Amino acid sequence: MWPILERLRVEAIKQKESAAATNSTTKRGESGVGSANEIDTKPKEKEKQTKRKRGIYINLTQCKYDTVRTVAAQRGWLEDEDDKGKKNLFTVYWCDGAVTKYRVAQLKNHQRINHFPGLEVLAHKTHLSQILNKMEKAFPSEYNFMPKTFILSRHVEPFRAYCTTPNGHKKTWIFKPSTGACGKGIVLTKDPLHWANDFDDTVVQEYITNPLLIEGKKFDMRVYVLVTSVRHLSVFMYNEGLVRICAVPYQQPTSANMDNECVHLTNYSINKEHPNFSPGESDAGDTGSKRDFRWFNRFMTENGQNPKDVWADISDVIVKTLIAAHPTLSHMYKICFPHSNAGFTCFQILGFDILFDTQYRPWVLEVNQSPSLRGDTPIDFRIKTGLLQETMQILNLRLSDEERDQDLQQARSRARLLGGKFEAASKSGGKHVKTHMAVE
């Protein structure tokens, strides 16, 4: 679990204003340069560059979330407004969508980006099923936390065969598009063979018919996990998150109720449209259709469960899922940085969707690579800003990292000219750092 960190009380808005003032001064200076001849402009260009306020810069030009903006400003980070960070002057690049390996490979050692290349291995349901099925074959008693899943594009015949066995017969199945989200395109059925040929990039999964219920309703948990390195696999689980409860009481699946999404699917985007959905009155997280983990811990205790044991089980399935994806993720990282990279360029917040059955057994349903960071309700705002504060704290960014990076770059260039191994000495935060590095 992450420690609960004290909130920072940096006067963020003031910092933002002073950054804006610096920018506008620079712009005014620029307009005068246009009329000068070439010899005059050069020193002014240089002056303009040196005028950039010293600080940690975050580029949010591809990020729509105000929560990220707010928390970055609270930390005193400045906004790099360069569109898509093309000039590469930021310390952190934070975007909502996935990134390509080419984008990541451009980054310098001190820079950070909030996505790992190749993360589809977790986020696409077909890839996730593939790696977890493979691990289940090798370690059946360790990797049995994803409901039985078939990838239709590859395993339609084994699926058909399974459905005719005594085990597979009469089960309820859920069809899920591989890259689907928010419950879109999901079909629940007891007659899977009727559907098996109708889907393309889809998984079909055994439906958990005995979910744990809260006040008679099905729910799932959104657990936030931060990965800060795949080279030195580092994973943090946030100790707050969302319990998302259906709007309508649960019923065992029958042909009469299987189309009722608010009975069977816990997605917020579906249930919020139902008149019974209750947003909760405050940010306390103990009423309504969305609750927090503090409340869930009390719920478990009241129902005779030890929250510590349940959380140990949850972290176990999360770590095992990440271990299954690790070879792909570290391979992709290595492709981006074949040489001289400390291993901390990428970080990512993941949203694990976990369902419990009546035995409090956690089932991994899916992993979201861009979980919503929207703070549109009080509980969302509290949980997501808390998550972002901890994330930015854990990144532990220091201005001296950039200086050290520049020193190392220079040393590496010198070594390239001279050939062979080199020893780079750099000043970092007043401390003298020595780094030995082999030349590529």
Q: Which CA distances in Å does 216 have to 186, 226, 240, 245, 250? A: 23, 32, 23, 10, 6
CB 217 within 8 A of CB 246: yes
Is residue 183 close enough to count as binding ligand ADP by CB under 6 A? yes
Is residue 380 close enough to count as binding ligand ADP by CB under 6 A? no
Neighbours of 124 (CB within 10 A): 20
Residues in the chain: 440
Measured from the CB atom, the residue of 51 and 184 that comes closer to ligand ADP is 184
Q: Which of 23, 82, 133, 147 binds ligand ADP (CB under 6 A)?
A: 147
Strand locations in 109-246, DSSP E? Answer: 112-113, 149-151, 173-177, 187-189, 202-206, 213-214, 217-229, 234-245
166: which residues sit within 8 A by CB, 6+ positions away? none
Distance CA 57, CA 76 (A): 9
Q: Which of 205, 228, 372, 389 binds ligand ADP (CB under 6 A)?
A: 205
Residues 308-367 that bind ligand ADP (CB under 6 A): 353, 355, 365-366
CB 432 within 8 A of CB 265: no
Strand locations in 285-347, DSSP E? Answer: 290-292
CB 243 within 8 A of CB 215: no
Q: How far is the CB of 32 from ligand ADP (least distance, A)?
A: 54
Which residue stretch of 1-9, 173-181, 192-200, 403-411 sits at the interface with ligand ADP (rule: CB under 6 A)? 173-181
Q: Is the dihedral of CA 88, 92, 97, 100 positive or negative?
A: positive
Helix, strand or coil, per DSSP, at residue 224: strand
Is residue 181 close enough to count as binding ligand ADP by CB under 6 A? yes
Is residue 391 close enough to count as binding ligand ADP by CB under 6 A? no
Q: How far is the CB of 152 from ligand ADP (least distance, A)?
A: 15
Is residue 136 close enough to count as binding ligand ADP by CB under 6 A? no
Is residue 207 close enough to count as binding ligand ADP by CB under 6 A? yes
Residues 254-293 that bind ligand ADP (CB under 6 A): 265-267
Q: How far is the CB of 261 from ligand ADP (least distance, A)?
A: 9
CB 416 within 8 A of CB 439: yes
Is residue 180 close enough to count as binding ligand ADP by CB under 6 A? yes
Which residue stretch of 72-80, 180-188, 250-258, 417-425 sits at the interface with ligand ADP (rule: CB under 6 A)? 180-188
Q: Return the residue matching tokens 């950070």.
A: 112
Amino acid symbol at 113: I
Q: Return the residue matching tokens 């690579």.
A: 369
CB 193 within 8 A of CB 163: yes
Q: How far is the CB of 180 from ligand ADP (least distance, A)?
A: 4
Distance CA 95, CA 285 (A): 28
Q: How far is the CB of 279 from ligand ADP (least distance, A)?
A: 18
Measured from the CB atom, the residue of 77 and 175 that comes closer to ligand ADP is 175
Measured from the CB atom, the residue of 85 and 362 that comes closer to ligand ADP is 362
Q: Which of 220, 292, 390, 401 binds ligand ADP (CB under 6 A)?
A: 220
Q: How far is the CB of 326 from ligand ADP (least distance, A)?
A: 22
Is residue 193 close enough to count as binding ligand ADP by CB under 6 A? no
Q: How far is the CB of 390 from ligand ADP (least distance, A)?
A: 24
Which residue stretch of 179-187, 296-304, 340-348, 379-387 sits at the interface with ligand ADP (rule: CB under 6 A)? 179-187
Q: Which of 182, 418, 438, 439 binds ligand ADP (CB under 6 A)?
A: 182
Is residue 168 close enough to count as binding ligand ADP by CB under 6 A? no
- The overall longest dimension of the chain from CA atoms, in Å, is 86
Q: How far is the CB of 174 from ligand ADP (least distance, A)?
A: 5
Burial class (CB in 10 A: 0-12, 13-18, 19+), 308: exposed
What residues make contact with ligand ADP under the rule CB under 6 A?
147, 174, 176, 180-184, 186, 205, 207-208, 220, 265-267, 353, 355, 365-366
